[in-house]
Structure 1
Amino acid sequence: MKISRFTWCLVAILALLQSTHAADATSSWNTKLLKQKPDWYYGSEARAAAQTVLLYQSAEGAWPKNHDLLKPPSSAEELAKIQKEKGNTIDNGSTTAPLKFLALIAEAGGGELYQTAVIKGIDYLLASQYDNGGFPQFYPLRPSGYYSHITYNDNAMISALELLRDVASRRPPFTFVDDLHREKAAQANEKGISCILKTQIRENGKLTVWCAQYDEVTLEPAWARKYEPPSLSGSESVGVVRFLMEIEKPTPEIIASIEAAISWLEAAAIKGVRLETFKNAEGKQDRRVVDDATASPMWARFYELKTHRPLFLGRDSVFHNSISEIEYERRNGYSYYGTWPASLLERDYPRWRSKHGFK
């Protein structure tokens, strides 16, 4: 579906006139728009938001990264610039979230315009998938950099697979999708699961967890940004495990993958310390790790391959064993520690075992 210049202008005017209504639900584009009450998607507020979101869909079917999709572009030229500089990507839910939002509008009687946009977005995801089942961060592929790597980082690939799984299963809000696209989505989902199993890192014959990104050809752990090294992820691995747990009929290989990852995450928990914010000698807010026997477990974002030691890198890409050893800007501008696996281990994993009758 290609929006003509006349249609673009018409929709843009309507979006501008009604943008104040969209702000009543949320002040800017975020995932709260996916969690409104069902009746909301039938109203003018939702339709005004959808009109603006639709404007940002690219010719390939994707959306730009880190942009307020509820703020109408001032002109077609500005829109083209945004799409060129920030799209087409699945990073940070950039395409999957607006796709689901438009599907909610379509299912609420929004009409063929939104159904067509959703199908176009599904086609984009299908086209972007590698033959080995992985997904690059950007598509069409960029000529250089880490953007073509298979990307688990920030749940990019997992978000794409979750959407395709829902399409294949005809789960709301994708009930209107035709059988051919559902079949293609199912095939893509199976390829994705195969890629997940292939990329789970095995050391000394034992499965561990996943790296945040992989070389798209060799399937080896790969660098992303200068402070995101080939490593074992205490964050992205959680989303991968949850996705595998949602498979209704897990194979023995999938079960073994989940159990191994859970065991690794349990062993990787960091206990007896906590990350605190304090005011340093220069009067700035800073972060440090302090001893605390009562602290809840936390995990590192990166663990070194083979040694499994928590790993910290600044923009110089030098490996360190402590967050205090990297520069102030990265120490305070990136999540090197978190509690990502906590609810997975405490709640989701026991429920999964109970559901499948594991003792």
Structure 2
Amino acid sequence: MIHRVINKIKLLAVFALGAVMLPAQDIQLSMLEYELRIPEQTAQSELWADLLQHDRQWYTSPEAIRIAENILLYQRNSGGWPKNIDYTETLSAVHKKELTDYADEPLATIDNGATYTQMRYLAHVYAQTGDKRYCLAFLRGLDYLLKAQYENGGWPQYYPLRKGYYSHITYNDDAMIGVMRLLRDVAAGGSEYRFVDENRCFMAQKAVAKGIECILKTQVVVNGELTAWCAQHDVKTLKPARGRAYELPSLSGKETVDIIWFLMEIENPPPEIIAAIEGAISWLQRVKINGIRQKRVTSPKSPTGYDKIIVNDPAAPPIWARFYQIGTNRPFFSDRDGEMYFDLADISVERRVGYGWLGYWPQELLEKFYPRWQARYVVNKRMPQK
């Protein structure tokens, strides 16, 4: 699903790069009208995309209010929301009581669109109904996101923190970028966020600036060249880190794309951001895979009834791997044994069909939108001024 973002923002951005402090920059949402994509995770992602695109009147409907009431019930004591919840279901009285009695579990997270998506929905409903409960729940969520941010600018997947990969700086499935987009919109004072007080707007500005600083610092440098990002980075060293057993330290052909989108939305970007984008784009162009395509075939041995295979096809468009080996740029796959494989056929059918190993994530960015951005901010700046 595609969201077209048209509102402009200004943020105070101070980037700390080593001992060098860059001057304050005006950061605005680019008027190139980039089409931003909801992370392709589950059918629930598409459901939320639909829920956030209704006309204003719909948010006063009984259905919209019922969903908003469910969102209130699922908000955890921490201020955030759990993931993978069907907020459209009709809750029984018993279920509602359980949610009230056990308001700490399940834990709140920003994974799979959780928290920042529910907050956007509540803002829509509050804008049309004026019900203060939705406003207050949104503000609790905002405080949660601000509190969850690390001092280095990153966000963990879960807050309060959980041991393990959950505490890594998490770009996986666009978790951190989703948070930063919401905070950016709040700081802009858009029509649906005008209820947010000045202090919180300023805190959102600072959080986005710190987040951008973290993005720049976590971009992986290989042989002196800026490349891409891993799906998660260690909070202390900022180096690529392991996620789940089959998510090894790597350069990501998927998460890198949405990070680039976010950076490209910055109006009049400073040289450090231009360099980050140019480095990542150059890497994406180098690692594209030609001459193959992924094919779905019937398989009675698969738990899903189908399997995925790779076939040769000289006419196929370029495709990208989810993970690339750092240093060699060799595409790889993995399994629950934590090992690295270089052939999709070598991993279990469960992981083969249960994870997005190959995709066309950068295609539209490279073919359509990056050239426009480059012409505006790179090519034009190289031309002598008349």
TM, length-normalised to structure 2: 0.82
Q: Which among 252, 258, 272 is matched to residue 239 of structure 1?
A: 258
More helix by share: 1
Report how far residue 82 of structure 1 moved.
7.5
Q: Which among 80, 84, 109 is matched to residue 62 of structure 1?
A: 80
1:288 equivalent to 2:316? Answer no
Query: Helix, strand or coil: the match of 1:286?
Result: strand
1:210 equivalent to 2:220? Answer no
1:194 equivalent to 2:222? Answer no
Identity among equivalent pairs (%): 47
| 2:15 corresponding residue in structure 1 | none
Q: Which among 246, 259, 268 is matched to residue 287 of structure 2?
A: 268
Residue-pair matches, total: 332
Query: Helix, strand or coil: the match of 1:138?
Result: coil
| 2:171 corresponding residue in structure 1 | 152
The correspondence of residues 1-359 of structure 1 with structure 2, limited to 5 A, is 30-71=48-89, 72=91, 74-79=94-99, 84-142=104-162, 144-280=163-299, 282=301, 284-356=305-377, 358-359=379-380
What is the alpha-carbon distance in structure 2 between the residues aligned to residue 86 and residue 341 of structure 1? 34
Q: Deviation string for 1:155-192 (max 9, x for gaps)?
A: 00000111111111112421221111100000000000
| 2:38 corresponding residue in structure 1 | none
Report the residue type matching 2:295 in the other structure: E
More strand by share: 2
Report how far residue 348 of structure 1 moved.
1.9
Query: Helix, strand or coil: the match of 2:333?
Result: coil
Report how far residue 111 of structure 1 moved.
2.4
Unaligned runs of 5+ in 1: 1-25
What is the alpha-carbon distance in structure 2 between the residues aligned to residue 38 and residue 247 of structure 1? 28
Unaligned runs of 5+ in 2: 1-43, 381-386
Report how far residue 75 of structure 1 moved.
3.2
What is the alpha-carbon distance in structure 2 between the residues aligned to residue 248 and residue 58 of structure 1? 36
What is the alpha-carbon distance in structure 2 between the residues aligned to residue 30 and residue 319 of structure 1? 34
Report the residue type matching 2:284 in the other structure: L
Runs of 4+ residues deviating >2 angstroms: 28-31, 42-45, 70-78, 80-87, 279-284, 353-359
Report the residue type matching 1:255 in the other structure: I
What is the alpha-carbon distance in structure 1 between the residues aligned to residue 359 and residue 333 of structure 2? 13
8 Å CA contact 2:157, 2:168 repeated in 1: yes
8 Å CA contact 1:107, 1:175 repeated in 2: no
Query: Helix, strand or coil: the match of 1:274?
Result: strand
What is the alpha-carbon distance in structure 2 between the residues aligned to residue 354 and residue 44 of structure 1? 48
TM, length-normalised to structure 1: 0.88
8 Å CA contact 2:294, 2:308 repeated in 1: yes
